[in-house]
Structure 1
Amino acid sequence: MAIDVRSNQGPAVPAQWLRQTPKDTPFDEMRQRLRADGYVYVKNLLPREEVQRVRKEYFTLYEPTGIIKPGTSLEDGIFNDQNDPLAHGGIGAGELPPTDLQVQTMINAHTQPEYLQLLENPEFRTFIRGLMGWQKEILLTRTMIRHNAPGALSTAVHYDKLFLRKGEAEFLTAWVPIGDTKATGGGLMYLSDSVSVGREIEAGFSERAKDLSHEERLSAFNVHMERYGQLSQDASEFGDMHKADRGRCWLVADYQAGDIVFHDPYIVHASTRNEGVDGRIRVSTDLRFYEDGSDMDDRWMKLWTPGDGL
Structure 2
Amino acid sequence: MSGLLRGSVAGLLVAVLALAIAWLAFDLLVIGYGESPHQLIVLLVRGTWGTAYGIGQVLYKATPLLFGGIAVSIALRAGLFNVGVEGQMSIAALGAAVVAARLSGLSPWLAVPIALAAAAFFGALWAAPAALLRARRGVHEVIATILLNRVADGVVTFLLAAGLALPASVRTPAIAPSTRLARLETVVPALAGSAVSYALPLGVALLLLWSVSARWTRLGRELEQVAQGPEACAAEHIPVARRRFEALVLSGAVAGLAASATVFGYKGAFEQGLGAGAGFISIAVALLGRGSFGGLLAAALLLGTLQQGGLVINARVPMEIIDVVSAVLIVAVAIADRKLTRLFGALDHERRLAA
Q: TM-score, normalised by structure 2?
A: 0.23
Which of the two has greater strand per residue? Answer: 1
Q: TM-score, normalised by structure 1?
A: 0.26
Which of the two has greater helix per residue? Answer: 2
